A and B are shown apart, each in its own frame.
Chain A
Amino acid sequence: MCATCGCGHGEVRIEGVTHDTDHFKGFRPAAHAPDVSPARMVQIEQDILSKNNDLAGANRKFFAMRGIFALNMVSSPGSGKTSLLVRTIDDLKGKLPVAVIEGDQETSNDAERIRATGAAAVQINTGRGCHLDAHMVMGALEQLKPAPASVLFIENVGNLVCPAAFDLGEAARVALFSVTEGEDKPLKYPDIFASADLVLINKIDLLPHLSYDMAKAEANVRRVNPRARIMKLSATSGEGLAEWYQWLADPSARAAA
Protein backbone atom coordinates (compact mmCIF):
# COMPACT_ATOMS: atom_id res chain seq x y z
CA MET A 1 0.00 0.00 0.00
CA CYS A 2 1.16 3.50 -0.76
CA ALA A 3 2.57 5.29 2.28
CA THR A 4 1.49 8.66 0.97
CA CYS A 5 -2.22 8.12 0.74
CA GLY A 6 -3.04 4.49 1.32
CA CYS A 7 -3.99 3.78 -2.27
CA GLY A 8 -3.07 0.43 -3.85
CA HIS A 9 -0.18 -0.07 -6.24
CA GLY A 10 -0.86 0.54 -9.90
CA GLU A 11 -3.83 2.77 -9.24
CA VAL A 12 -4.58 4.73 -12.33
CA ARG A 13 -4.60 8.48 -11.90
CA ILE A 14 -7.54 9.95 -13.74
CA GLU A 15 -8.03 13.47 -14.93
CA GLY A 16 -10.26 15.56 -12.72
CA VAL A 17 -10.24 13.12 -9.81
CA THR A 18 -9.65 15.27 -6.75
CA HIS A 19 -7.88 12.47 -4.93
CA ASP A 20 -4.93 12.96 -7.29
CA THR A 21 -5.00 16.70 -6.94
CA ASP A 22 -5.19 16.53 -3.17
CA HIS A 23 -1.94 14.78 -2.67
CA PHE A 24 -0.29 16.29 -5.63
CA LYS A 25 1.04 19.08 -3.42
CA GLY A 26 3.16 16.68 -1.44
CA PHE A 27 3.57 14.50 -4.52
CA ARG A 28 5.81 11.61 -3.51
CA PRO A 29 5.31 8.77 -5.99
CA ALA A 30 8.41 7.12 -4.49
CA ALA A 31 6.03 5.64 -2.00
CA HIS A 32 4.46 3.67 -4.87
CA ALA A 33 7.70 2.05 -6.00
CA PRO A 34 8.40 -1.50 -4.86
CA ASP A 35 10.99 -1.49 -2.08
CA VAL A 36 13.31 -3.99 -3.76
CA SER A 37 13.41 -2.26 -7.15
CA PRO A 38 16.67 -0.64 -8.19
CA ALA A 39 14.55 2.12 -9.63
CA ARG A 40 14.86 5.56 -8.14
CA MET A 41 12.86 8.71 -8.34
CA VAL A 42 14.18 11.84 -9.98
CA GLN A 43 12.54 15.21 -9.43
CA ILE A 44 12.91 17.36 -12.49
CA GLU A 45 10.15 19.98 -12.55
CA GLN A 46 10.78 20.87 -16.16
CA ASP A 47 8.45 22.56 -18.53
CA ILE A 48 7.81 20.29 -21.53
CA LEU A 49 8.21 23.30 -23.75
CA SER A 50 11.49 24.37 -22.12
CA LYS A 51 13.57 23.61 -25.21
CA ASN A 52 11.21 25.58 -27.44
CA ASN A 53 11.11 28.39 -24.88
CA ASP A 54 14.93 28.55 -24.79
CA LEU A 55 15.08 28.84 -28.58
CA ALA A 56 12.28 31.42 -28.53
CA GLY A 57 14.40 33.39 -26.06
CA ALA A 58 17.32 33.27 -28.48
CA ASN A 59 15.07 34.50 -31.30
CA ARG A 60 13.80 37.29 -29.06
CA LYS A 61 17.37 38.37 -28.37
CA PHE A 62 18.13 38.28 -32.11
CA PHE A 63 15.15 40.60 -32.76
CA ALA A 64 15.98 42.94 -29.88
CA MET A 65 19.61 43.38 -30.99
CA ARG A 66 18.45 44.42 -34.46
CA GLY A 67 15.42 46.45 -33.42
CA ILE A 68 13.14 44.06 -35.33
CA PHE A 69 9.46 44.06 -34.38
CA ALA A 70 8.37 40.42 -34.76
CA LEU A 71 4.72 39.39 -34.89
CA ASN A 72 3.27 35.91 -34.64
CA MET A 73 0.11 35.91 -36.77
CA VAL A 74 -2.35 33.17 -35.86
CA SER A 75 -5.77 32.36 -37.31
CA SER A 76 -7.83 29.61 -38.89
CA PRO A 77 -7.16 28.85 -42.59
CA GLY A 78 -8.91 31.28 -44.93
CA SER A 79 -9.39 34.15 -42.48
CA GLY A 80 -7.29 36.43 -44.67
CA LYS A 81 -3.82 36.54 -43.08
CA THR A 82 -1.91 36.51 -46.35
CA SER A 83 -4.27 38.98 -48.06
CA LEU A 84 -3.88 41.34 -45.12
CA LEU A 85 -0.09 41.04 -45.31
CA VAL A 86 -0.01 41.64 -49.08
CA ARG A 87 -2.16 44.75 -48.68
CA THR A 88 -0.11 45.93 -45.67
CA ILE A 89 3.20 45.54 -47.52
CA ASP A 90 1.85 47.41 -50.57
CA ASP A 91 0.49 50.26 -48.48
CA LEU A 92 3.63 50.59 -46.33
CA LYS A 93 6.10 50.34 -49.20
CA GLY A 94 8.91 52.85 -48.74
CA LYS A 95 7.70 53.66 -45.21
CA LEU A 96 8.48 50.55 -43.21
CA PRO A 97 10.86 47.68 -44.09
CA VAL A 98 8.96 44.40 -43.93
CA ALA A 99 9.97 40.73 -44.07
CA VAL A 100 7.77 37.65 -43.84
CA ILE A 101 8.10 34.07 -42.67
CA GLU A 102 5.27 31.93 -44.05
CA GLY A 103 4.18 28.74 -42.35
CA ASP A 104 2.05 26.17 -44.15
CA GLN A 105 1.83 22.43 -44.16
CA GLU A 106 2.60 22.31 -47.89
CA THR A 107 3.23 24.60 -50.91
CA SER A 108 5.11 27.87 -51.21
CA ASN A 109 2.06 29.69 -52.61
CA ASP A 110 1.89 32.19 -49.76
CA ALA A 111 5.60 33.08 -49.84
CA GLU A 112 5.27 33.61 -53.60
CA ARG A 113 2.31 35.95 -53.04
CA ILE A 114 4.44 37.94 -50.57
CA ARG A 115 7.52 37.98 -52.84
CA ALA A 116 5.34 39.32 -55.67
CA THR A 117 4.99 42.51 -53.58
CA GLY A 118 8.78 42.87 -53.53
CA ALA A 119 9.16 41.98 -49.84
CA ALA A 120 11.52 39.28 -48.68
CA ALA A 121 9.78 36.05 -47.66
CA VAL A 122 10.77 32.56 -46.60
CA GLN A 123 8.34 29.66 -46.61
CA ILE A 124 8.40 26.99 -43.94
CA ASN A 125 6.59 23.77 -44.83
CA THR A 126 5.80 21.90 -41.68
CA GLY A 127 4.98 18.60 -43.41
CA ARG A 128 2.96 16.62 -40.88
CA GLY A 129 3.37 19.41 -38.32
CA CYS A 130 0.44 21.60 -37.39
CA HIS A 131 2.26 24.68 -36.05
CA LEU A 132 5.49 26.62 -36.24
CA ASP A 133 8.01 26.29 -33.43
CA ALA A 134 10.94 28.46 -32.36
CA HIS A 135 13.49 26.17 -33.99
CA MET A 136 11.82 26.43 -37.42
CA VAL A 137 11.74 30.21 -37.11
CA MET A 138 15.42 30.24 -36.15
CA GLY A 139 16.23 28.30 -39.33
CA ALA A 140 14.12 30.65 -41.46
CA LEU A 141 15.85 33.71 -39.97
CA GLU A 142 19.20 32.46 -41.27
CA GLN A 143 17.72 32.39 -44.77
CA LEU A 144 15.69 35.56 -44.52
CA LYS A 145 18.20 37.87 -42.83
CA PRO A 146 15.58 40.51 -42.01
CA ALA A 147 16.78 44.12 -42.13
CA PRO A 148 17.44 45.98 -38.87
CA ALA A 149 14.46 48.01 -37.60
CA SER A 150 12.05 46.09 -39.83
CA VAL A 151 8.70 44.53 -39.06
CA LEU A 152 8.81 40.75 -39.30
CA PHE A 153 5.50 39.00 -39.85
CA ILE A 154 5.56 35.33 -38.96
CA GLU A 155 2.44 33.85 -40.53
CA ASN A 156 1.72 30.71 -38.56
CA VAL A 157 0.02 27.60 -39.93
CA GLY A 158 -3.73 28.20 -40.23
CA ASN A 159 -4.84 26.49 -37.03
CA LEU A 160 -6.48 27.91 -33.91
CA VAL A 161 -5.39 25.12 -31.58
CA CYS A 162 -1.78 23.98 -31.83
CA PRO A 163 0.15 27.24 -32.38
CA ALA A 164 -1.11 28.58 -29.02
CA ALA A 165 1.47 26.71 -26.96
CA PHE A 166 4.56 27.61 -28.99
CA ASP A 167 6.39 30.84 -28.29
CA LEU A 168 8.36 31.85 -31.38
CA GLY A 169 10.18 34.77 -29.74
CA GLU A 170 7.67 37.30 -31.05
CA ALA A 171 7.14 40.74 -29.52
CA ALA A 172 3.40 40.41 -29.96
CA ARG A 173 0.89 37.80 -30.97
CA VAL A 174 -1.83 38.82 -33.39
CA ALA A 175 -4.95 36.64 -33.65
CA LEU A 176 -7.14 37.18 -36.68
CA PHE A 177 -10.66 36.02 -37.35
CA SER A 178 -13.05 37.06 -40.07
CA VAL A 179 -16.71 37.98 -39.80
CA THR A 180 -17.67 34.97 -41.96
CA GLU A 181 -16.42 32.65 -39.22
CA GLY A 182 -19.07 33.64 -36.66
CA GLU A 183 -18.93 35.57 -33.42
CA ASP A 184 -18.04 32.65 -31.17
CA LYS A 185 -14.54 31.76 -32.44
CA PRO A 186 -12.86 33.17 -29.30
CA LEU A 187 -15.04 30.96 -27.08
CA LYS A 188 -14.43 27.88 -29.21
CA TYR A 189 -10.65 28.40 -29.23
CA PRO A 190 -10.00 30.26 -25.98
CA ASP A 191 -6.31 29.33 -25.58
CA ILE A 192 -5.17 31.08 -28.72
CA PHE A 193 -7.32 34.17 -28.16
CA ALA A 194 -6.24 34.36 -24.52
CA SER A 195 -2.60 34.53 -25.64
CA ALA A 196 -3.12 37.35 -28.19
CA ASP A 197 -1.96 40.93 -27.70
CA LEU A 198 -4.01 42.16 -30.62
CA VAL A 199 -7.16 40.67 -32.14
CA LEU A 200 -8.05 41.65 -35.70
CA ILE A 201 -11.60 41.14 -36.93
CA ASN A 202 -11.22 40.95 -40.71
CA LYS A 203 -13.49 41.14 -43.80
CA ILE A 204 -15.78 43.80 -42.32
CA ASP A 205 -16.61 44.87 -45.90
CA LEU A 206 -18.87 41.78 -45.96
CA LEU A 207 -20.96 42.89 -42.95
CA PRO A 208 -23.89 44.19 -45.05
CA HIS A 209 -24.37 40.64 -46.38
CA LEU A 210 -24.21 38.87 -43.02
CA SER A 211 -26.19 38.74 -39.81
CA TYR A 212 -23.07 39.30 -37.72
CA ASP A 213 -23.28 40.75 -34.24
CA MET A 214 -20.07 42.76 -33.84
CA ALA A 215 -20.78 43.72 -30.22
CA LYS A 216 -21.17 40.05 -29.38
CA ALA A 217 -17.92 39.16 -31.19
CA GLU A 218 -16.04 41.82 -29.22
CA ALA A 219 -17.63 40.69 -25.95
CA ASN A 220 -16.51 37.12 -26.71
CA VAL A 221 -12.92 38.29 -27.22
CA ARG A 222 -13.13 40.23 -23.94
CA ARG A 223 -14.45 37.19 -22.11
CA VAL A 224 -11.31 35.16 -22.83
CA ASN A 225 -8.89 38.08 -23.01
CA PRO A 226 -9.70 41.37 -21.28
CA ARG A 227 -6.32 42.92 -22.09
CA ALA A 228 -6.08 42.42 -25.89
CA ARG A 229 -6.60 45.34 -28.19
CA ILE A 230 -9.32 44.76 -30.82
CA MET A 231 -9.32 46.27 -34.32
CA LYS A 232 -11.93 45.84 -37.04
CA LEU A 233 -10.71 46.05 -40.59
CA SER A 234 -10.97 44.89 -44.17
CA ALA A 235 -7.94 43.99 -46.24
CA THR A 236 -10.17 44.35 -49.33
CA SER A 237 -11.84 47.74 -48.80
CA GLY A 238 -9.04 49.18 -46.66
CA GLU A 239 -11.44 50.17 -43.89
CA GLY A 240 -9.77 50.20 -40.46
CA LEU A 241 -6.26 49.69 -41.84
CA ALA A 242 -4.95 53.10 -40.70
CA GLU A 243 -5.18 52.03 -37.05
CA TRP A 244 -3.37 48.76 -37.83
CA TYR A 245 -0.59 50.61 -39.66
CA GLN A 246 -0.18 53.05 -36.81
CA TRP A 247 0.07 50.15 -34.38
CA LEU A 248 2.76 48.53 -36.58
CA ALA A 249 4.86 51.66 -37.04
CA ASP A 250 4.55 53.43 -33.73
CA PRO A 251 5.51 51.80 -30.41
CA SER A 252 3.76 54.57 -28.48
CA ALA A 253 0.50 53.73 -30.31
CA ARG A 254 0.90 50.16 -29.07
CA ALA A 255 1.55 51.23 -25.50
CA ALA A 256 -1.53 53.46 -25.42
CA ALA A 257 -4.01 50.61 -25.77
Chain B
Amino acid sequence: MHEMSLCEGIISVLEAEAKKQNFARVKTVWLEVGPFSGAEPEAMKFCFDAVTRGTLAENARLEIVTPEGQGFCGTCMKTVAIAERYDPCPTCGAVLLQVTGGEQLRIKELEVV
Protein backbone atom coordinates (compact mmCIF):
# COMPACT_ATOMS: atom_id res chain seq x y z
CA MET B 1 0.00 0.00 0.00
CA HIS B 2 2.59 2.57 -1.04
CA GLU B 3 -0.30 4.72 -2.27
CA MET B 4 -0.42 6.07 1.29
CA SER B 5 3.13 7.42 0.92
CA LEU B 6 2.30 8.75 -2.53
CA CYS B 7 -0.68 10.66 -1.13
CA GLU B 8 1.51 12.05 1.64
CA GLY B 9 3.81 13.19 -1.18
CA ILE B 10 0.85 14.97 -2.80
CA ILE B 11 0.12 16.84 0.46
CA SER B 12 3.71 18.02 0.75
CA VAL B 13 3.63 19.28 -2.86
CA LEU B 14 0.33 21.06 -2.14
CA GLU B 15 1.68 22.70 1.00
CA ALA B 16 4.73 23.98 -0.84
CA GLU B 17 2.59 25.27 -3.72
CA ALA B 18 0.15 26.96 -1.31
CA LYS B 19 2.98 29.15 -0.05
CA LYS B 20 4.43 29.76 -3.50
CA GLN B 21 1.14 30.49 -5.29
CA ASN B 22 -0.71 31.99 -2.34
CA PHE B 23 -3.79 29.84 -1.77
CA ALA B 24 -5.39 28.51 1.42
CA ARG B 25 -7.51 25.55 0.37
CA VAL B 26 -7.45 22.97 -2.36
CA LYS B 27 -10.82 21.99 -3.81
CA THR B 28 -9.80 19.65 -6.60
CA VAL B 29 -6.62 17.81 -7.51
CA TRP B 30 -6.07 16.43 -11.02
CA LEU B 31 -3.64 13.56 -11.10
CA GLU B 32 -2.13 11.73 -14.00
CA VAL B 33 -1.57 8.08 -13.06
CA GLY B 34 -0.10 5.95 -15.82
CA PRO B 35 -0.86 2.22 -16.10
CA PHE B 36 2.85 1.43 -15.48
CA SER B 37 3.32 3.89 -12.62
CA GLY B 38 2.97 1.19 -9.99
CA ALA B 39 0.08 3.05 -8.37
CA GLU B 40 -3.50 1.84 -8.32
CA PRO B 41 -6.07 4.61 -8.95
CA GLU B 42 -8.67 3.10 -6.60
CA ALA B 43 -6.12 2.79 -3.80
CA MET B 44 -4.99 6.37 -4.47
CA LYS B 45 -8.56 7.60 -3.97
CA PHE B 46 -8.95 5.63 -0.76
CA CYS B 47 -5.66 6.88 0.68
CA PHE B 48 -6.20 10.44 -0.52
CA ASP B 49 -9.35 10.77 1.61
CA ALA B 50 -7.53 9.41 4.66
CA VAL B 51 -4.37 11.46 4.24
CA THR B 52 -6.02 14.82 3.46
CA ARG B 53 -7.98 14.95 6.73
CA GLY B 54 -6.91 17.97 8.76
CA THR B 55 -4.88 19.41 5.86
CA LEU B 56 -5.43 22.19 3.32
CA ALA B 57 -6.93 19.57 1.02
CA GLU B 58 -9.55 18.19 3.41
CA ASN B 59 -12.69 17.15 1.46
CA ALA B 60 -10.94 17.93 -1.82
CA ARG B 61 -12.07 16.06 -4.91
CA LEU B 62 -9.51 13.80 -6.54
CA GLU B 63 -9.74 13.42 -10.31
CA ILE B 64 -7.53 10.78 -11.84
CA VAL B 65 -6.70 10.82 -15.51
CA THR B 66 -5.15 7.67 -16.94
CA PRO B 67 -2.91 8.21 -19.96
CA GLU B 68 -2.48 5.22 -22.23
CA GLY B 69 0.51 2.93 -22.07
CA GLN B 70 2.82 3.37 -25.03
CA GLY B 71 5.73 1.48 -26.44
CA PHE B 72 8.09 2.10 -29.34
CA CYS B 73 8.28 -0.71 -31.88
CA GLY B 74 11.74 -0.89 -33.44
CA THR B 75 10.40 -2.98 -36.34
CA CYS B 76 7.54 -0.66 -37.34
CA MET B 77 9.55 2.36 -36.17
CA LYS B 78 6.53 3.90 -34.51
CA THR B 79 4.89 4.39 -31.12
CA VAL B 80 1.99 2.04 -30.41
CA ALA B 81 -0.56 1.67 -27.59
CA ILE B 82 0.03 -1.20 -25.14
CA ALA B 83 -1.89 -2.39 -22.09
CA GLU B 84 1.01 -4.19 -20.36
CA ARG B 85 4.72 -3.55 -20.26
CA TYR B 86 5.48 -6.74 -22.12
CA ASP B 87 2.72 -6.60 -24.76
CA PRO B 88 3.87 -7.30 -28.31
CA CYS B 89 3.41 -4.71 -31.06
CA PRO B 90 -0.29 -4.76 -32.09
CA THR B 91 0.72 -4.16 -35.73
CA CYS B 92 3.60 -6.56 -36.37
CA GLY B 93 3.65 -8.78 -33.27
CA ALA B 94 7.26 -7.93 -32.38
CA VAL B 95 8.12 -8.25 -28.71
CA LEU B 96 10.59 -6.19 -26.64
CA LEU B 97 8.99 -2.84 -27.23
CA GLN B 98 10.60 0.06 -25.44
CA VAL B 99 8.05 1.55 -23.02
CA THR B 100 7.74 5.25 -23.84
CA GLY B 101 4.55 6.23 -21.99
CA GLY B 102 2.44 5.15 -19.06
CA GLU B 103 4.84 5.68 -16.15
CA GLN B 104 3.45 9.12 -15.28
CA LEU B 105 2.66 9.85 -11.65
CA ARG B 106 2.06 13.57 -11.65
CA ILE B 107 -0.09 16.32 -10.24
CA LYS B 108 -1.33 18.20 -13.30
CA GLU B 109 -3.50 20.93 -11.96
CA LEU B 110 -5.33 22.20 -8.90
CA GLU B 111 -8.52 24.07 -8.24
CA VAL B 112 -7.80 26.32 -5.26
CA VAL B 113 -9.37 29.06 -3.20
Interface size on B, residues (CB 8 A): 43
Say yes or no for B108: interface residue by CB 8 A criterion. Answer: yes
The one of B4, B85, B111 that contacts A33, using a Cβ cutoff of 8 Å: B111
Contacts of A224 in B (CB 8 A): 85-86
Say yes or no for B9: interface residue by CB 8 A criterion. Answer: yes
A13-B64, A21-B65, A39-B27 given; A48·B107 CB < 8 A: yes
Shortest B4–chain A CB gap in Å is: 8
Contacts of A190 in B (CB 8 A): 36, 84-86
Interface, chain A (partner B; CB < 8 A): 13, 15-16, 20-21, 24, 27, 29, 33, 37-52, 128-131, 133, 161-162, 164-166, 187, 190-191, 194, 222-224, 226
The one of A15, A20, A42 that contacts B110, using a Cβ cutoff of 8 Å: A42
B13 A51 Cβ-Cβ under 8 A? yes
A165 B84 Cβ-Cβ under 8 A? no
Per the bound structure, the CA–CA distance linking A13 and B41 in Å amounts to 11
Q: List 26 A-B contacts (CB under 8 A).
A: A15-B64, A20-B65, A20-B66, A21-B66, A21-B67, A21-B68, A27-B65, A37-B113, A40-B111, A40-B112, A40-B113, A41-B109, A41-B112, A44-B107, A44-B108, A46-B13, A48-B31, A49-B9, A52-B9, A128-B4, A190-B84, A190-B85, A190-B86, A191-B85, A223-B95, A224-B86
9 extra interchain contacts, Cβ-Cβ under 8 A, other than A27-B109, A40-B23, A42-B112? Answer: A21-B66, A24-B32, A44-B13, A47-B106, A48-B31, A50-B13, A161-B2, A190-B36, A194-B85
Per the bound structure, the CA–CA distance linking A222 and B109 in Å amounts to 37
Shortest A48–chain B CB gap in Å is: 5
Say yes or no for B5: interface residue by CB 8 A criterion. Answer: yes
Shortest B1–chain A CB gap in Å is: 6
Contacts of B6 in A (CB 8 A): 48-49, 165
A130 B111 Cβ-Cβ under 8 A? no
- Residues of B34-71 whose CB lies within 8 A of A: 36-39, 41, 63-68
Contacts of A13 in B (CB 8 A): 63-65
A44 B110 Cβ-Cβ under 8 A? yes
